[in-house]
């Protein structure tokens, strides 16, 4: 096959004409949900122009600039990254705003020590090796491994191994007669959010916690380690926050934005002593250091499945002879962080917002996480800016948001959502998140029901650069269609989707990662992630097409029928789970009735919208009213009482798993009951869910009647 280059994007000359014809036919065959027949051709031309305007080399240029230095939230280096983002978007013609907040947090790990005390004295390594092959690894501003929101303390104690430190793991340790109280727990990364490892350790009375990446999960048992391969070497350390309060955002201002202390509006803040911040010292270690501890443990052998990849028999207890010291002195104070938000104001519907986001703070250089997403989005701002300057501005406002302090606990975006809660509820059409959005070559995504269709449809319009397939085809693999996940925790969609009820999605390209280590730098990206630098422009095309398709439709192109389809499957799964511990449980009668109505109303609304668009007789006033009512649909799932595990999480539809911190809990009210095999509140939840679904169905039929 012959290749030539147009700019930097590869063009397959033998098959390009054929693919172009097929692509054109594919575009023509699309429904173009939300568009009138006369507006389709204009949108087709715009989307073609957009794809051709994407400047593929720009991604590499921006990624290099963003990752010149380590830039932890709250540091001068991160402020420089924010300034760069601000300037690029301003130069692209966007209206750019800073949203500052004063958050209670740390900007560095402070002083810390991990060492063996007996049977020998041995200080343990807490930082990555300097590698000749990686010039970034010698940067003097790189720090030791640390966990934000660790408690401070200096403890010397015996050791207990708790596998991954999940709720079930600690229960198993207790079941096996091992007392954690007063001990230092050592647990490996994986299975749950690191903050819950600390939370459970503290609940069981541990004096301290060490977390390490086991080579069985990422290390020499998987393949070649860095710098020869993509897996953790014996010095690589996963950093990360351990913040686990029962809300998301600044720990001192739940439900309220952490506005600047010197600002006009004063926000009531909690006393840190009133919060559930951890009090025990927590530190991350590389497996080279963990090996020195685990290799000396002499207690009972671990249960089946708890053996890791180090060359020792893993044991639950270290014994009285093995003592380890963990010291952390980590200061917290009010730290200024700032979100950078650029807006291309809509020409027709300026108060309807398409919001695209990624955070920009990183644990070190952040080449994959998060700044591959950041680089793609600032390149997108330039491309959209060029279109706007040439008279092709979007009809709805497109906002590109760069969030600060995500790595400390999804802080910046949550404060913004709390600050603009009312406006977002009334104006936000969608939130699209692309944290680490170009960190490999494998396509993936998760979405709320109404946005799944646009996510897959736009993937059909973009060529995958390393095969003759589209993104959709590559994503689907051997299946007829791609698998779209459900949104969980761990990134900036949380506030939008789970607190306010804005339809959201998260996607991009994934692959090898040295997650949260000092090695996640430009050298690693260039050598292992995407040496050809084709994925940045490719994902930009996909994201831009989704944004433009939503921005320019006369009627917001939600797939309203998908609610009933997905909900039916979710409730069927819930019933199956409950019947495993309660064979007498017959199901959710009220929900079933509401779902039947919702399914019918969704079909009627979809048909009414399509008919109205085909007639091309809708007035601007009518279109505005239809869209206003469509924006209200997702709010049916926002319940002011919220979840029993945290009232900040108000969506009945989806939430972060409060025990793992990452996983998606669909129907979280039910999942919380099922987590403890409880049937006590199932009748209450039948009523609450049925009421929400009935409210959604009622909104749909009212909108259908309005259109008709």
The model's pLDDT over 31-59, given as tens digits with 9 standing for 90+, comes to 799 999 999 999 999 999 999 999 999 99
User: What per-residue confidence (pLDDT) applies to 589?
Assistant: 96
Q: Are 440 and 519 in contact (CB under 8 A)?
A: no
The model's pLDDT over 223-275, given as tens digits with 9 standing for 90+, comes to 999 999 999 999 999 999 999 999 999 999 999 999 999 999 999 999 999 99
User: What per-residue confidence (pLDDT) applies to 282?
Assistant: 98
DSSP result, 479-545: SSS---B---SSSTHHIIIIII---EEEEEEE----TTSTT-SHHHIIIII-TT--HHHHHHHHHHH
The model's pLDDT over 538-564, given as tens digits with 9 standing for 90+, comes to 999 999 999 999 999 999 999 999 999
10 confidence band (pLDDT: 50, 70, 90): very low
Q: Taking residues 408-415, what's their average pLDDT? A: 98
User: What per-residue confidence (pLDDT) applies to 488?
Assistant: 82
Q: Are 108 and 72 in contact (CB under 8 A)?
A: yes
Q: Are 522 and 67 in contact (CB under 8 A)?
A: yes
Q: Are 555 and 609 in contact (CB under 8 A)?
A: yes
What tokens does 247 get?
């809300």
Of 482, 444, 461, the C-alpha closest to 26 is: 461
Q: Taking residues 16-36, what's their average pLDDT? A: 54
Of 265, 330, 410, 335, the C-alpha closest to 103 is: 335
22 confidence band (pLDDT: 50, 70, 90): very low
Long-range contacts (CB closer than 8 Å, 24 or more residues apart) made by 18-22: 19/463, 19/468
CA 503 to chain centre: 14
User: What per-residue confidence (pLDDT) applies to 30?
Assistant: 55
Q: Taking residues 87-99, what's their average pLDDT? A: 98
439 confidence band (pLDDT: 50, 70, 90): very high
Which distant-in-sequence residues (6+ apart) come within 8 Å of 652 by Cβ?
637, 638, 639, 667, 668, 669, 688, 689, 692
User: What per-residue confidence (pLDDT) applies to 202?
Assistant: 98
The model's pLDDT over 680-697, given as tens digits with 9 standing for 90+, comes to 999 999 999 999 999 999
Q: Taking residues 509-532, what's their average pLDDT? A: 97
Instruction: Convert 40-78 to b/e letters by CB count within 10 Å (16 or more is b).
Output: beebbebbeebbebbbbebbbebbebbbbbbbbbbbeeb
pTM of the entire predicted model: 0.94
CA 50 to chain centre: 26
Which distant-in-sequence residues (6+ apart) come within 8 Å of 643 by Cβ?
649, 650, 655, 658, 668, 669, 672
User: What per-residue confidence (pLDDT) applies to 26?
Assistant: 39
Nearest-angstrom CA–CA distance, 11 and 160: 57
The model's pLDDT over 326-383, given as tens digits with 9 standing for 90+, comes to 999 999 999 999 999 999 999 999 999 999 999 999 999 999 999 999 999 999 999 9
How many Å from the N-terminal Cα to the C-terminal Cα in the chain?
A: 55
Alpha helices in 428-491 (DSSP H): 452-459, 471-476
Average pLDDT of the chain to the nearest whole number: 94
77 confidence band (pLDDT: 50, 70, 90): very high
User: What per-residue confidence (pLDDT) applies to 275?
Assistant: 95
Q: Taking residues 439-468, what's their average pLDDT? A: 97
User: What per-residue confidence (pLDDT) applies to 404?
Assistant: 98
CB neighbours of residue 511 within 10 Å? 17
**Can you tell me whether residue 648 is helix, strand or coil?**
coil
Nearest-angstrom CA–CA distance, 578 and 670: 9
Q: Taking residues 598-624, what's their average pLDDT? A: 97
Work out the percent of the chain whose per-residue pLDDT is above 90: 94
Over 90: is that where the pLDDT of 490 sits?
no
Q: Taking residues 209-232, what's their average pLDDT? A: 98
What tokens does 375 get?
């680089």
Nearest-angstrom CA–CA distance, 394 and 377: 16
Instruction: Convert 614-642 to b/e letters by CB count within 10 Å (16 or more is b).
Output: eeeebeeeebeebbebbbbbbbbbbbeeb
């Amino acid at each position: 096959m012959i290749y030539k280059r147009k700019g930097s994007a590869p063009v397959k000359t033998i098959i390009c004409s054929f693919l172009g014809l097929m692509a054109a036919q594919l575009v023509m065959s699309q429904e173009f949900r939300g568009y009138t027949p006369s507006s389709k051709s204009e949108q087709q031309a715009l989307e073609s122009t957009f794809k051709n305007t994407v400047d593929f080399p720009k991604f590499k240029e921006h990624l290099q600039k963003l990752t010149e230095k380590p830039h932890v939230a709250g540091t001068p280096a991160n402020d420089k990254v924010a300034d760069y983002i601000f300037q690029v978007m301003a130069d692209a013609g966007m209206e750019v705003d800073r949203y500052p907040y004063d958050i209670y947090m740390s900007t560095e790990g402070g002083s810390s020590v991990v060492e063996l005390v007996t049977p020998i004295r041995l200080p343990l390594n807490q930082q990555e090796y300097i590698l000749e092959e990686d010039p970034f690894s010698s940067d003097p501003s790189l720090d030791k491994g640390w966990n934000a929101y660790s408690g401070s303390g200096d403890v010397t104690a015996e050791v207990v191994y708790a596998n991954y430190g999940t709720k079930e793991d600690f229960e198993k340790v207790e079941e096996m007669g091992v007392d954690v109280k007063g001990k230092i727990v050592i647990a490996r990364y994986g299975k749950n959010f690191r903050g819950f490892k600390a939370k459970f350790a503290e609940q069981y009375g541990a004096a301290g916690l060490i977390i390490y990446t086991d080579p069985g999960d990422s290390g020499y048992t998987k393949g070649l380690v860095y710098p020869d391969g993509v897996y953790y070497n014996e010095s690589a350390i996963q950093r990360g926050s351990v913040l686990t309060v029962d809300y998301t955002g600044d720990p001192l201002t739940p439900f309220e934005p952490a506005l600047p202390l010197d600002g006009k509006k004063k926000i009531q803040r909690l006393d840190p002593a009133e919060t559930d911040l951890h009090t025990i010292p927590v530190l991350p270690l590389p497996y080279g250091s963990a090996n020195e501890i685990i290799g000396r443990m002499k207690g009972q052998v671990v249960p089946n499945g708890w053996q890791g990849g180090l060359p020792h028999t893993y044991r639950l207890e270290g014994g009285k002879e093995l003592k380890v010291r963990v010291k952390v002195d980590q200061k917290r104070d009010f730290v200024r962080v700032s979100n950078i938000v650029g807006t291309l104001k809509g020409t027709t519907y300026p108060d309807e917002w398409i919001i695209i986001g990624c955070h920009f703070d990183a644990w070190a250089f952040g080449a994959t996480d998060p700044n591959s997403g950041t680089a793609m989005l600032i390149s997108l701002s330039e491309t959209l800016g060029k279109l706007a300057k040439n008279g092709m501005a979007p009809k709805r406002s497109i906002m590109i948001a760069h969030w600060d302090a995500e790595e400390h606990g999804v802080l910046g975006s949550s404060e913004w959502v709390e600050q603009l809660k009312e406006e977002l509820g009334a104006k936000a059409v969608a939130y699209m998140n692309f944290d680490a959005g170009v960190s490999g070559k494998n396509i993936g995504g998760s979405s709320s029901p109404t946005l799944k269709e646009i996510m897959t449809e736009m993937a059909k319009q973009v060529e995958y650069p390393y095969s003759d397939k589209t993104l959709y085809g590559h994503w689907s693999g051997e299946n007829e269609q791609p698998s779209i996940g459900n949104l969980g925790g761990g990134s900036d969609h949380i506030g939008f989707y789970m607190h306010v009820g804005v339809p959201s999605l998260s996607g991009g390209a994934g692959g090898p990662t040295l997650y949260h280590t000092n090695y996640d730098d430009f050298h690693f990206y260039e050598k292992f992630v995407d040496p050809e630098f084709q994925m940045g422009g490719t994902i930009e095309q996909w994201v831009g097409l989704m944004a433009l398709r939503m921005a320019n439709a006369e009627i917001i192109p939600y797939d309203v029928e998908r609610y009933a389809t997905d909900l039916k499957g979710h409730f069927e799964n819930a019933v199956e789970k409950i019947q495993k511990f309660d064979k007498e449980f017959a199901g959710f009668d009220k929900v079933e009735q509401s779902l039947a109505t919702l399914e019918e109303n969704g079909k009627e609304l979809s048909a009414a919208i399509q008919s109205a668009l085909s007639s091309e007789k809708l007035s601007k006033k009518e279109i505005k009213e239809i869209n206003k009512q469509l924006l209200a649909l997702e709010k049916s799932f926002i319940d002011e009482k919220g979840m029993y595990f945290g009232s900040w999480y108000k969506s009945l539809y989806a939430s972060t798993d409060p025990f793992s911190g990452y996983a998606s809990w669909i129907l979280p009210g039910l999942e919380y009951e099922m987590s403890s095999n409880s049937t006590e509140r199932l009748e209450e939840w039948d009523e609450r869910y049925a009421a929400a679904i009935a409210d959604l169905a009622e909104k749909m039929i009212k909108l259908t009647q309005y259109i008709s």
